[in-house]
Structure 1
Amino acid sequence: MQQQAPLHVLVVEDEVVNRDVVCHILNYFGHQVSAVDSGAAALSAVRRASFDLVVMDCRMHDMDGLETTRRLRAGEAGPSGITVPIIALTAQAFAVDRDACLAVGMNDFLTKPVDIDHLTLAIERWARRPHGGQHTCPTHADAGPCCQPGAAPKVFDPAVLAALPMVVDGSQSDYGQVVLDLYFKSLPAQLSSIQHAATSGDIQTAQRTAHSLKSSSAAVGALAMAACAADAEAHLCHGNQDMSHLPSRFDMEYERLCAMLGRQPDLMPESAVRPC
């Protein structure tokens, strides 16, 4: 990938940690990257500029990646949106999710947290193909480190951030700490969202927040938090409406993570603070 001519890549991702990691990886390999945090912003970006490739999150708050792709393929953002290669990025690793992505006109399918080798191979597949080429899909569909069976996941695995290419070669040796800080900054609001959703019975918000936490936690190596989020999402996806246990479980993992890394838990809104 390092030998490719630079591409102009649009990253469409509403979760701040995942967006930052993907953008830094693409920048590391010499590509020009533009990033937006919503489907509506993606349509506007494609209307204004020409992109060689789009990396598209499948689940976003305003308009999901599937609907955004449908609109691009229908010409709502102009001719370039009809043919630009689109790589789906999703925390869901099932064949039905892959098939749904391809059915709306996406060209490839990758799971989160981002696997660097899979991302670079996908970009190589589509970088030099004529726009509008036949859809394909990688044979891998791993669920990521948070979902592997076996032993209980680690509270924190430093190897995840240490494996980022800019950290490995020392060109941005502090990036792991930068993205970890970004993750911790985002956590209180997400945990508060879980608390409010559980209190109000808002299953959709709870499921969406758990989905976001699953991928961002795995991306930084907070594997126990990622597993907790995956369990919560699965619990809600299977039609279970009891959310009373979710806030305490997430808070426990937050406290364990802070203790392991020597961080002081940030104060959350009063409604989200509960006794152990």
Structure 2
Amino acid sequence: MQQAPLHVLVVEDEVVNRDVVCQILNYFGHQVNAVDSGLAALNAVRDAHYDVVVMDCRMHDMDGLETTRRLRAGEAGPGGIGVPIIALTAQAFAVDRDACLAVGMNDFLTKPVDIDHLALAIERWGRRPRTGQHVCPPHADAGPCCQPGAAPKVFDASVLAALPMVADGSQPAYGQVVLDLYFKSLPTLLGTILSAASSGDAQTVQRTAHSLKSSSASVGAMAMAACAADAELQLRKGNPDMSRWPSRFDMEYERLCTMLGRPHALLPESAVRSC
């Protein structure tokens, strides 16, 4: 007998990742609502019942860890105290997993999202009785989303082709839909990075590079994802030199647009040159 769909809340502030996760969950027959901030998540859980929450860890205003703390403290009513929460993050190290567990999350998945792992986690946590116990199966360190080695492809078409609704032909155009979303968001993300780098705002560069890393990997823009991952990693290590990032991001943007025949939107020229 077919099981009833689960009611899932997706909390993700990056538009491309949010859309991909929602479409995958819809594909598997679940009822999905999505919000783009921690505050909106608190309100959503207060207003409706959810079987499981998929929570981005790195959101701009209130991150996923703080949102989870508030849910577990009852700030969204009794529904937030026991609802299973699955962390979704581009950071794949044990220290990140431990931080998620410490605030009461139940499971830990990395971006770009693995479709099978997401589907299994939703079923595992969404259908088990709520006991208030927060247990996450062990994960080995996977490292950053873009591993060192051979130079990453400018664009890997197999990433979008592997989306289930594209692979089975039920929504063959979805790959182009999400790619359009990505290119629509790209000038804003890159413009923020370039402007922040030119003014020495390392925190904004690191935060925005984190978002760009995961959204780029989600659509197969692997060279851009690697560039963003490198920038984020260097800043996390405390390397304040941002002089090379504007020109490198601009170069990767031009390569990607050229390969896919997309218009190359003008980025802040002063920012590219000033570093």
Q: How do 1:216-255 and structure 2 match up within 5 A?
A: 216-255=215-254
Q: Quick one: distance in 2 between partners of 1:166 and 1:103?
A: 35
Structure 1 runs, 4 residues or longer, greater than 6 Å off: none
Q: How do 1:190-209 and structure 2 match up within 5 A?
A: 190-209=189-208
What's the counterpart of residue 214 of structure 1? 213
Identity across aligned pairs (percent)? 83
Q: How many residue pairs align between the two structures?
A: 274
What's the counterpart of residue 179 of structure 1? 178
What's the counterpart of residue 47 of structure 1? 46
Q: Quick one: distance in 2 between partners of 1:12 and 1:150?
A: 33
What's the counterpart of residue 27 of structure 1? 26
* 8 Å Cα contact 2:57-2:65 kept in structure 1: yes
Q: What SS does the corresponding residue of 1:198 show, helix, strand or coil?
A: helix
Structure 1, residues 58-116: CA drift from partner, whole Å, max 9, x if none?
00000000000000000000001000000000000000000000110000000000000
Amino acid at match of 2:189: Q
What's the counterpart of residue 7 of structure 2? 8
- Decide whether aligned partners of structure 1 residues 97 and 145 sit closer, same or farther in structure 2, where only a CA change above 3 A counts: closer
RMSD: 1.8
Q: Quick one: distance in 2 between partners of 1:185 and 1:39?
A: 24
Q: Quick one: distance in 2 between partners of 1:84 and 1:161?
A: 31
The more displaced of 158-167 and 235-244 is: 235-244
- Decide whether aligned partners of structure 1 residues 208 and 115 sit closer, same or farther in structure 2, where only a CA change above 3 A counts: same
* 8 Å Cα contact 2:112-2:145 kept in structure 1: no
Q: Quick one: distance in 2 between partners of 1:176 and 1:207?
A: 28
What's the counterpart of residue 81 of structure 2? 82
Amino acid at match of 1:20: D
* 8 Å Cα contact 1:146-1:153 kept in structure 2: no
Q: What SS does the corresponding residue of 2:119 show, helix, strand or coil?
A: helix
- Decide whether aligned partners of structure 1 residues 127 and 165 sit closer, same or farther in structure 2, where only a CA change above 3 A counts: same
* 8 Å Cα contact 1:110-1:141 kept in structure 2: no
1:143, distance to aligned residue in structure 2 (A): 4.3
What's the counterpart of residue 149 of structure 1? 148
Q: What SS does the corresponding residue of 2:112 show, helix, strand or coil?
A: coil
1:200, distance to aligned residue in structure 2 (A): 1.3
Q: Quick one: distance in 2 between partners of 1:210 and 1:269?
A: 17
- Decide whether aligned partners of structure 1 residues 204 and 150 sit closer, same or farther in structure 2, where only a CA change above 3 A counts: same
Structure 1, residues 16-35: CA drift from partner, whole Å, max 9, x if none?
00000000000001111100
Structure 2, unmatched stretches of 5+, are none
1:197, distance to aligned residue in structure 2 (A): 0.7
* 8 Å Cα contact 2:86-2:105 kept in structure 1: yes
